[in-house]
Amino acid sequence: MSRITTSTTPQSLLFARGSLALAMTLVGSSVVSAKFMVEQFPIFLGLGIRQVSATLVMLVIVLLVEKKLPRVARRDHGIIVLQTITGVVIFNVLMLAGVDRTTAAASGIITSTVPAWIALLSLILGERISRLTMIGIGLAMGGVLVVNIAGGDGGSDRASAPLLGGVLVMGAVIGEALFTICGKTLSGRVTPIANCFMVCVYGSAMFLPVALWQLPGFDFGTVEASGWIALAWSAGPVMIGAFFLWFTGLKVVPASSAAVYTGLIPVSALVCSPIFLGWRIGWAHFTGMGFVIEAIILVARPDRHLSPLPGGVSVDARV
């Protein structure tokens, strides 16, 4: 039986893939901004300020674009709550706690395991993983091994508890994978803007009570410009921009294929680390990044199995 996908044109696929790539590039930069945040803010206070700021900005965007607050089915509210718990609370809390105990570079490397987790969890959605997609995931994972085995610390800042930090970051990675799976189940029913807004709202509700608990006694005068810039970057381009772009791409691209794009998280983190943290990149890092980029090129190839039909409809003859 053939599966019919509406409005799947080469242009829409290209746009979706570009959205996924840019989203994960922004998420990768958050590994570095998180390092600045945990040095100057209590974790929950920093996340609370970021979350509320992102929610207010998204409220304005929603009212300007959709002219009204989104109406979401009760069942979809439950999925969005799960999205928020996994992709906002678990990912951010464990990532910040992990980065505080290990290096930003090591954190970025660990996040490369996201493709494997998403590909595994996408089987729950009944998706078929093609041979080339599996090869692409293998290449992305190969890049992780090269950097881990031969990359070393590259002169980065020392880690206070690298093992615990690595475990916490891995927990954040699993949360990110679950976040993607939840987002895929909502595609077609909730617009990317509405989804992003609702995630921000629920995230604010979850973080605000603990943020207010950490607020008394905190001296905002001790926060340097780098801390505020990191907070603004995390709230705007990372939270709003990356979430919206990722939800947009998931409307078109299967979760198993989108998984490969998460390999750009460590690539972005590795590029940002020497610029903002003074970390040195060696040959192993370039090799690992090359593997990830090759994996993305492989998975994002033009799909010859899609045969266009009138009206912008494509049939996937493999199903």
| Domain residue spans of the chain | 3-316
Q: What are phi and psi of 218, to 5 degrees?
A: -80, 130
Please indicate, yes or no, whether the overall pTM of this predicted structure exceeds 0.85: no
pLDDT on residue 8 = 62
> Amino acid identity of 62?
V
76 within 8 A of 190, measured Cβ to Cβ? yes
pLDDT on residue 309 = 32
d(CA 44, CA 46): 5
173 within 8 A of 52, measured Cβ to Cβ? no
Hey, what are 262's tokens? Answer: 């998460």
pLDDT on residue 32 = 81
pLDDT on residue 311 = 37
Could you tell me which residues come within 8 angstroms of residue 84 by beta carbon, excluding any fewer than 6 positions away?
199, 202, 203, 206
276 within 8 A of 105, measured Cβ to Cβ? no
Rg, Å, the chain Cα set: 20
Question: Residue 273: is its pLDDT beyond 60?
Answer: yes
Question: Residue 220: is its pLDDT beyond 60?
Answer: yes
Residue listed under structure tokens 């970057």: 233
Could you tell me which residues come within 8 angstroms of residue 65 by beta carbon, excluding any fewer than 6 positions away?
193
The mean pLDDT value for 258-285 works out to: 74
pLDDT on residue 252 = 85
The mean pLDDT value for 93-110 works out to: 70
Confidence band for 78, pLDDT divided at 50, 70 and 90:
very high
CA 33 to chain centre: 14
Count CB neighbours of 278 within 10 A. Answer: 11
Could you tell me which residues come within 8 angstroms of residue 125 by beta carbon, excluding any fewer than 6 positions away?
181, 184, 185, 255
Q: Give kind and range of the element (H or E) at residue 36.
A: helix 10-40
Sign for the pseudo-dihedral over CA of 208, 210, 213, 218: negative
Hey, what are 247's tokens? Answer: 């939800």
pLDDT on residue 125 = 66
16 within 8 A of 184, measured Cβ to Cβ? no
The string of pLDDT tens digits covering residues 26-35 is: 988 887 888 7
pLDDT on residue 313 = 33
